[in-house]
Chain A
Amino acid sequence: MPDDLNWAIGGEAGDGIDSTGKIFAQALSRAGRHVFTSKDFASRIRGGYTAYKVRTAVDRVESVVDRLDILIALTERTIHENEDELHDDSVIIYDGERSTMQDVEVPGDATALEVPLKRLAEDAGGAIMLNVVALGAACEVTNFPIENLDESLQKRFGDKGEAIVENNKTAARKGQEYVREEYDHDFDYDLETTDADYVLLNGDEAIGMGALAAGCKFYSGYPITPATDVMEYLTGRIDQFGGKVVQAEDELAAINMALGAARAGARSMTATSGPGIDLMTETFGLVATSETPLVICDVMRSGPSTGMPTKQEQGDLNMTLYGGHGEIPRFVVAPTTISECFWKTVEAFNLAEKYQTPVFLVSDLALAVTEQTFPPETFDMDEVEIDRGKVVDEEEIDSWLDEQGRFQAHFAAADGISPRAFPGTTGGAHMTTGLEHDELGRRTEDQEIRIEQVDKRQQKVETAREQEDFDYREFGDSDADTLVISWGSNEGALREGLGFLEEEGYDIRFISVPYIFPRPDLTEAVEAADDVIVVECNATGQFADVVEHDVLQRVDRINKYDGVRFKADELAEDIEQHLAGEAGTQEATQ
C-alpha cells in the first residue's frame, strides 16, 4: 500500500457531506497526520452529487491524486462518479439496507462493505447520525484509533449539548464494532498517528486571517462562490480588532465602500470572484488615480459569464492585469499555496499602503475549498510586519503644503509616492477625483500636468521594482534543460507531479511565480532551457502570453498620453529620431 490514503464521502447535497468530511479531516489532523482535502460540488443547497475528499499521509501532501482507497457512498451515483478512481483494493462503505442501495455493484475486485448505517444510527439515538456511523466504520477499515474522532465530534456538536456529542461518539463506535464483527479480516490499511500538532484551514480562511494579521479593519463584499468564505471568516472576528464587515447591495457598492473606508484611513479590502470582479472593474481606475490603498481579492472560478461557479479555473489573469479602461499602476499577487494565501495577504496590504494603489490578490477555487494541514508556526504572527507608507500627521503636514498652505495629496515626488493625510488631520483637507488632476487634486486638462501625473503614478511601479523582492519560487533541478513555469495554485500538484517524473529519470526545473505584476524577470531562465512549458488552469495560456511577451522584447515604443492625438509632422519627427537612435517621445511633443 502507498504511504498516502485517499478517502471520500459522497452523496446528495444536503446530506451533511461537508461537515462529515471535515470531522474526519480534523480527526486526522489532530492525530498528527497531514491532510489535503478537496470537494466535488454544485452550487445548490439540496440535490445533486457532492463529495468531500481527504488525502492523508504522515509526510506533507500538496495535491489530490486520481486514486480512491476508501469511499463512503450515501448514494449509488457516488460510486459511479468515482469509478475511475477506484481500484481492486478499494473499500466502499454503504448502507445495503436502504431501498436505493439494493442493487449496488462495486467495480472490479473492490470490497463492498455493507453497513446498516441508518439502523445503527437509530440504535445510537437518531438516524441523523448515519454519516458518523460510517466514519466509525471507516476508522475500523483504516485501523485508525476511534478516540481521534471524539475531539472533532466535540468541536462539531459541542454547542448542541453533551448528550448529542455522546450519542455521536456511540454512533461512531457502533459502526466500528459492526465492521469488526461482520468483516473479520485485515483491510491492509493502517493510518499511523504521530505526536505532531497541525492546524487545518482553507485558502479563503488563510486570506481572512492574513487580513486580520495585517490590521484590516474594513471589509465590504457581496456573497459569491468561492470567495464568500473570506467574508464569513472575517464576520464577527474582525469586530474583536475594532473592525467591521459590511454586506453590500452589489459589488459596485462593495468596492466603493471599501474605497471610502480606505480614504478614511482604514486598512480595507473586498473579495469577490469573476462576475463580481467584472462589476468592480469600473472603480479600478478611481482607486489608482485617487491613489487609494485597496486590496481587491479575486478568488477565481470557471468563467466566462456565470460559467461553472463551483469549478476551478485561472481565467482572470488578464482581467486583473489589464481590467479597466485607461492605464493604471497596480500590483497583481497570486499566492501559490494556502499558507502563502496568508502571507501574500499581509504583503498585499503593505504594498497597497506603501504605493497607494490597488493590489489584486488573485486566488482561486482550488485554494479556496481545499483544507490543508500546517504546523501552527507556519503562521507565526511575530513575523508579521506592517508598513503604512507615507502617512503624515499634523506635525509633519507643514512640509507637504504649497506656498499657499494647501496640502499636496498628489505631490509628484521622485519616487511617485505622495504624502497621505487621513481625514480629520488638521491642515490636510484636500480634494481627490477620478478626473485627471493637479498636485492638489483639482481637475485639469493641462498637458504638462497630465503627463506629470501619469508619470508620477507609473513611477510607483518602478520604485516598487527597486524596493521590493518580487522573486519566484524555485524547485527541482536548477540546471535542467526542461523548464516548467506556473503561477498560482498549481504549485503543489506540480511539485508532486514532477517528483513522479524525477523517479522516472527526468530532470526538470520548476519556477512557480507568485508575483504577476510587477513580476520577476524570467528571460534568463527561459533562454537557458531547451524546453519551456507554462502550466495554467485556462484554455488560452494567459500567463504563457505574458512570459513570451517578456522574453521577446523586440519593439521600440512611441507613446503619447497628453490627451492630444498624433499629428503627422510630429510623428514623422518622432520616427526619424528613433531611426537616428534617439529616445522616443515618452513625454508630449511641445
Chain B
Amino acid sequence: MSSDVRFTDFKSDKQPTWCPGCGDFGTMNGMMKALAETGNDPDNTFVVAGIGCSGKIGTYMHSYALHGVHGRALPVGIGVKMANPELEVMVAGGDGDGYSIGAGHFIHAVRRNVDMSYVVMDNRIYGLTKGQASPTSREDFETATTPEGPGQPPVNPKALALSAGATFIAQSFSSNAQRHAEIVQQAIEHDGFGFVNVYSPCVTFNDVDTYDYFRDSIVDLADTDHDPGNRDMAKDKILESDKEYMGVLYQDDSSVPFEQREGIEAPMNDVPDGAPEGAMDLVREFY
C-alpha cells in the first residue's frame, strides 16, 4: 500500500452519466476520499455495485470491482472478503437494490457482520427506470405506478439493521461533503459491517425529498449529546419518524468481524499443484 494515494486515484476515466446535480456524485466523492484517507489503494480495494443509478458507481471508480445482479451485491462482497480478508471491501447500491429486491440479504449481511462497508445511496425513488416508488418512498408519494402513493409505510432500514444486530449504523447526506466522507471513513474503520444510509437526492424524479428538504430538516448528531455507544439512544433516534439525522447512530466497539470469529487467517487464493497435503487421509476416513 502506498502512502501517497490520493482520492482521485480511485476515479476511473469514464465520465459519470448521472443527471447533473445528482446526489450520487457527492456520495461517490466521499467514498473515494474515505478510501484514500484510510490508507487504501485501488489494487487492494474491491468495490461491489448493485443495479440502478447507484450501481453505475463501479464503472466510475477505479479499483477491483464487480457490478452484478440486482439486489445481490452484499453476498458478493461477503464472498470476496471471506476469501481474502486482506482486501478492503466496499459495497454500494441504492434503496431499491438494498431494501427491496435485496432486502433479505441486507438483514443477513448485518447479522453476519463481515468487516466491510455498505453505502446505500437512498434517493427514495427508482431513477433508472424513470420514477417509480421505492421501498423508502413516502406513503403518499405519487408516481406513474403508484398514482395515489405506495399506500404503505416506507421501510426504515436503520431500524431493520438495529433489530438484526448491527454493529455500525450511520446516516449521511451527500451534499455535506466533509461530514459524508468522515462518516464513510468511520464505517470503513469499524471492525465489522459498517452500514451507511446516504441521502442522495434525485433531482429528476423526486420533488419531495430534495436537497432543500434534507438541508432544512437534517440534524447533525455531532451537534447533539448523542452517544453512539448507547443502543437505547440509537433506537430512539432511529424510530423518530419526523426527524432526519446525520452521523453515526450506533457503533458497538466490541464488534469482532465474522471472518475473524470463523478463524479465517489468510487469503484463499493459493492452491497447490496437486491435491493438498493430507488429502489421502480423507480417503482413509471412509474405511
Residues of A within 8 A of B (CB): 29-30, 197-201, 205, 209, 212-215, 217-218, 220, 237, 239-244, 246, 248-250, 252-254, 256-268, 282-283, 286, 290, 376, 379, 381-382, 384-386, 388, 404, 422-435, 441-443
Contact = CB atoms under 8 A, between A and B. Distances in A.
Greatest chain B CB density within 10 A among A239, A257, A404 is at A257
A425 B58 contact: no
A263 B269 CA distance: 9
B273 A430 contact: no
Contacts of A253: 72, 74-75, 78, 104-105, 108
Contacts of B87: 264, 423-424
26 contacts: A199-B286, A200-B286, A201-B286, A212-B275, A212-B282, A242-B266, A246-B78, A246-B79, A248-B108, A249-B108, A253-B105, A256-B76, A260-B79, A260-B81, A264-B268, A266-B83, A385-B274, A386-B272, A386-B273, A423-B64, A424-B84, A429-B63, A432-B66, A434-B68, A434-B69, A442-B14
B282 A376 contact: no
B42 A265 contact: no
Interface stretch (B43-51, B188-196, B206-214, B249-257): B43-51
B282 A386 contact: no
A264 B84 contact: yes
A435 B272 CA distance: 34
Interface residues of B, number: 61
Consensus secondary structure, chain A interface: mixed
A424 B79 contact: no
Interface string B102-140: 001101100000000000000000000000000000000
A94 to B, nearest CB: 32
B84 A213 contact: no
Given A201-B286, A246-B82, A442-B59, A241 B72 contact: no
A542 B191 CA distance: 51
Contacts of B283: 199, 209, 376, 379, 381
Interface of B: 12-14, 42-46, 48, 58-59, 62-69, 71-72, 74-84, 86-87, 104-105, 107-108, 262-276, 278-280, 282-284, 286-287
B79 A30 contact: no
Given A268-B79, A430-B64, A443-B59, A218 B268 contact: yes
B268 A252 contact: no
A241 B276 contact: yes
B83 A265 contact: yes
Contact of B62 (A220, A267, A429): A429
Nearest to A432: B66
B282 A261 contact: no
Greatest chain B CB density within 10 A among A242, A243, A267 is at A242
Contacts of B263: 239
Greatest chain A CB density within 10 A among B71, B79, B274, B278 is at B79
B43 A424 contact: yes
Greatest chain B CB density within 10 A among A217, A248, A264, A376 is at A264
Nearest to B277: A241
B195 to A, nearest CB: 17
A285 to B, nearest CB: 8
Greatest chain B CB density within 10 A among A198, A385, A443 is at A443
A386 B274 contact: yes
Given A209-B283, A386-B272, A433-B66, A260 B83 contact: yes
Contact of B42 (A248, A256, A379, A429): A429
Given A265-B83, A265-B267, A433-B59, A260 B76 contact: yes
A209 B282 contact: yes
Contact of B287 (A197, A382, A384, A434): A197
A376 B284 contact: yes
